[in-house]
Amino acid sequence: MGAAAAEVVVAPRPPSAKRRSTTLKFLFELEKPGSVLPAGTAKLPPPSPEPEADSLIDKIASCNRVFTFADDAAECEEERDAKRERLVEVLGAVRSSGAKQETLDHRVMVALVKMVGANLFRAMPPSACPALLPPDGVDEETNVMVLAPSWPHLQVVYDILLSVVTASDAKTLRHHVDRAFLSSLLALFRSEDPRERDRLKTVYHQLYSKLTCERAFMRRSMAYAFLRFVYEAPPAERHCGAAELLEICGSIINGFAVPLKEEHRAFLARVLLPLHRTRWVHTYHRQLAYCVLQFVHKEPGLADAVVTDILRHWPVTNCQKEVLLIEELEEILEVLELKHFQKLAVPICSRIARCVSSYSSQVAERALYVWNNERFLELATSSPGVMEKILPAFVASVESNLELHWSKCVQQATASVKSLLQQVAPDLYARCADDLATRRSEAEVAAAMRDARWRKLETAAAATK
């Protein structure tokens, strides 16, 4: 007897929903912005940005190849031009994203940082400045300038980097810009191309303003660069980048809160003041003086340490450096209050008075022009007892210039200063002139007596032979 057949129960089918149309006409209707769609019908999703990002990443990656611009072959020239065109396209894409306030894709940022590093971070060529150049043999206006041959590419890369930094927020930059990148960027300030250093200054300053968590590291890195200029660099090595770094420091110092932190005072004493001692100070003195003056503005009590350090390392044979330091002392005098001037008047004026009688006409004229400063004249005349201390040295230098100096221009400027001093303090000037004449006559008498004794000794020595 066979097995009984199992009874199969089939569940009833639910009523089928209306089948959605998939015709081309229906799909085109979905794409119309103002079309009315049937209930329950969703619009197509927007096109994925992935293909666009992938195309940009491929374009960025193709710019990683670095050209030395040393080969003039036609094919190399075409490839270089093609790379510049691609860089310009990448720059346009980055700027477009920034204009729309859109955050760059993470993969795009990684590719951009890699491309920037491949193009910018490189070994610098040897300096083109002569090694045996005298300290005052280079004028600031005629510095040796070396232009980077790869600047057509570097210029666009710097523009891309600046656009990325400007368009990105601090959080995004922290994920992609690390300390190794910042250190490599700082090393590029040694470039002798002023165009590159100017772009670097802008980029580095923008990074400092956004990467608040790395500000202390960036300040320490700049301090190490300055200390290397002073203590480790060979004497013949030009301090390229010092002026641009000091401009950044000037902006940073301007934002320091008062009272200053001990770290900031140490930066002034250990980093900025030693920069006065180098042979290349003329290439960055304007920026250095601005930084020092900012410290004195914020804490006038620091003027004592600043003036003492400048006077202690006063140059002996570098006339150009003497002129710069006289200008810096004059700027410091303009911001001093009366109580601080009374303390520093004697050492400052003694040095300026010695400069008045310098054989260098530039140094002598610049020292004489200090008396044309209204603030200095006001402090000198209004401070009780200061004129009695500083005027004798000036009177000696003025009278010496009128009698012995070789330059007619210096003699004319000296005569003008003498008439000014006689108007400001006529009695004191006359008394100082009398004392000077007395000292000179006494010196002449002592010299005559000394000569007489030598003649006696020579006569006695001749008689014993």
Mean pLDDT computed over every residue of the chain? 87
- What is the spatial distance between Cα 299 and Cα 295, in angstroms, rounded to a whole number? 6
Lowest mean pLDDT across 22-31, 57-66, 312-321, 419-428: 22-31
Distance CA 280, CA 282 (A): 5
**Residue 311 pLDDT:** 96
CB of 245 closer than 8 Å to CB of 226: yes
d(CA 371, CA 368): 6
- pLDDT of 397 strictly over 70: yes
Lowest mean pLDDT among 4-18, 149-163, 185-199: 4-18
Report pLDDT digits (tens) over 438-452: 999 999 999 999 999
CA distance linking residue 136 with residue 145, whole number of Å: 17
| Most distant CA atoms of the chain, gap in Å | 171
Buried b (16+ CB within 10 A) or exposed e, 25-61: eeeeeeeeeeeeeeeeeeeeeeeeeeeebeebbebbe
**pLDDT value, residue 5:** 44
pLDDT grade for 36, boundaries at 50, 70 and 90:
low
Question: What is the average pLDDT across 112-124?
Answer: 94
Read off the DSSP letter of residue 188: G
Average pLDDT over residues 355-379: 95
pLDDT band at 235 (very low <50, low <70, confident <90, very high): confident
Q: How far is CA 55 from CA 79, 93, 111, 168, 377, in A?
A: 19, 11, 12, 21, 70
Confidence at residue 146, expressed as pLDDT on a 0 to 100 scale: 81
pLDDT at 3: 47
pLDDT above 80 (res 25): no
**Domain layout of the chain by residue ranges:** 52-67+76-124+147-210, 211-231+241-298, 332-464
Q: Which two tokens stand for residue 189?
A: 């300030």
pLDDT in tens, 237-252: 788 899 999 999 999 9
Close Cβ partners of 361 (under 8 Å, ≥ 6 residues apart): 407, 409, 410
Mean pLDDT of 161-172: 93
pLDDT tens figures, 320-346: 999 999 999 999 999 998 889 999 999
State residue 26's pLDDT score: 60
pLDDT at residue 135 in the model: 45
Is pLDDT at 126 greater than 80 in this prediction? no
pLDDT band with cut points at 50, 70 and 90 for residue 372: very high
- Segment 424-445 mean pLDDT: 94
Q: Is the dihedral of CA 370, 376, 378, 380 positive or negative?
A: negative
Enumerate residues 6+ apart whose C-beta is below 8 A from 303.
Answer: 296, 332, 336, 340, 344
Q: Which pLDDT band, with edges at 50, 70 and 90, does 318 fall under? A: very high
How many whole angstroms separate alpha carbon 179 and alpha carbon 151?
Answer: 25
- Region 265-277: mean pLDDT is 96
Report the pLDDT value the prediction gives residue 268, as an integer from 0 to 100.
Answer: 97
pLDDT of residue 19: 54
Distance of alpha carbon 23 from the chain centroid: 67
Of 86, 99, 97, the closest CA to residue 156 belongs to: 86
pLDDT at 49: 53
Distances (CA, A) of 164 to 51, 111, 225: 21, 12, 26
> Is the distance from CB of 323 to CB of 362 less than 8 angstroms?
yes
Q: How many helices (H) and strands (E) does the chain have?
A: 20, 0
